[in-house]
């Protein structure tokens, strides 16, 4: 019984050490989440506004054309899957990979461009050829990193290696809610002409575009693609830290419950040992008196 009690105490100390680690990781994830959330909020208006601007130009100047707007037959479809570089983030990676596999199952030929070590490892174990991979982007993805990813996607599309590019990432909604989404990046969908009363742009000003609408669109489209990729990176990072914070909080709570259960068991064993010793003493005293 004494040996069993010592083993339980060793387990309690081990779980206490684990609890300290999970609590520390929870605090770190919470701090990173606050910063990531701020970056997401600041990145969204730019990408939304440039998207709106491109739509307005494409609507009001019908004579413009661009290869990115030209539809293609979907022979080879590329999926950019945004995962994490580190683990201990609950079901974050499994959910986004599952969403990507569901989308890829609908295509005869699908190529994968991976962002994050965990996704790279997953697809390599399944012998999936990766068209490109981007690893170790850090805790604060930079604009230059997004531009590098966007440049690769454009090269794959222009080189006819893929006929369509989809971003598969986790949209950050709140600390407790994140949503895996599939966003079609290329080819761009040209907005259809809408009735004036159906437009939701508010007051539409008369544009004077220099040097010409085509030139402005040629300048805006690369920036738009960069903005969309950068936003996907920011959304993914915020979602990752939110899930990690929740996972570490749950791990800390589970460790506390295990410590309480083991402490109760140790106390019961100690009490049983004391009771047994008292019984032996009483029995011994009775035998001496007899």
The catalytic site residues sit at 89
Q: 107-132 in b/e burial notation, b at 16+ Cβ within 10 A?
A: beebbbbbbbbbbbebbeeeeeeebb
What pairing do the DSSP bridges indicate for beta strands 164-174 and 130-134?
unpaired
Burial (0-12, 13-18, 19+ Cβ within 10 Å), 79: buried
Residue with tokens 């050490």: 17
Q: 260-284 in b/e burial notation, b at 16+ Cβ within 10 A?
A: eebeeebeeeeeeeeeeeeeeeeee
Torsion sign over Cα 132, 136, 140, 144: negative
Residue 212 to residue 251: CA distance in whole angstroms: 58
Cβ atoms of 242 and 172 closer than 8 Å: yes
Q: Which residues contact 98 (CB under 8 A, 6 or more apart)?
A: 180
Cβ atoms of 29 and 238 closer than 8 Å: no
Burial (0-12, 13-18, 19+ Cβ within 10 Å), 149: buried
């Amino acid at each position: 019984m004494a040996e069993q009690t010592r083993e339980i105490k060793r387990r309690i100390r081990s779980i206490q050490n684990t609890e300290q680690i999970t609590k520390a990781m929870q605090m770190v994830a919470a701090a990173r989440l606050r910063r990531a959330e701020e970056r997401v909020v600041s990145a969204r208006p730019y990408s939304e506004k440039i998207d709106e601007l491109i739509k307005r130009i494409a609507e009001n100047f019908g004579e413009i054309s661009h290869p990115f707007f030209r539809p293609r037959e979907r022979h080879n479809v590329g999926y950019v899957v945004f995962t994490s570089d580190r683990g201990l983030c609950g079901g974050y990676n499994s959910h986004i990979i599952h969403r990507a596999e569901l989308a890829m199952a609908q295509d005869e030929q699908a190529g994968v461009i991976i962002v994050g070590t965990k996704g790279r490892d997953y697809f390599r174990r399944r012998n999936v050829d990766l068209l490109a991979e981007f690893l170790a982007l850090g805790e604060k993805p930079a604009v230059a990193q997004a531009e590098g990813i966007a440049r690769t996607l454009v090269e794959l599309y222009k080189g006819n290696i893929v006929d369509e590019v989809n971003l598969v990432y986790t949209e950050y909604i709140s600390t407790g809610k994140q949503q895996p989404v599939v966003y079609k990046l290329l080819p761009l969908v040209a907005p259809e002409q809408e009735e004036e009363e159906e437009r939701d742009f508010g007051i539409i000003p008369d544009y004077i575009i220099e040097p010409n609408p085509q030139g402005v669109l040629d300048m805006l489209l690369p920036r738009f693609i960069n903005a969309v990729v950068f936003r996907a990176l920011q959304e993914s990072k915020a979602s990752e830290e939110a899930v990690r914070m929740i996972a570490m909080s749950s791990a800390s709570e589970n460790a506390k419950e295990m410590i309480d259960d083991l402490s109760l068991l140790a106390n019961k064993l100690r009490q049983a040992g004391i009771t047994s010793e008292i019984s032996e003493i009483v029995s011994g005293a009775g035998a001496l008196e007899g």
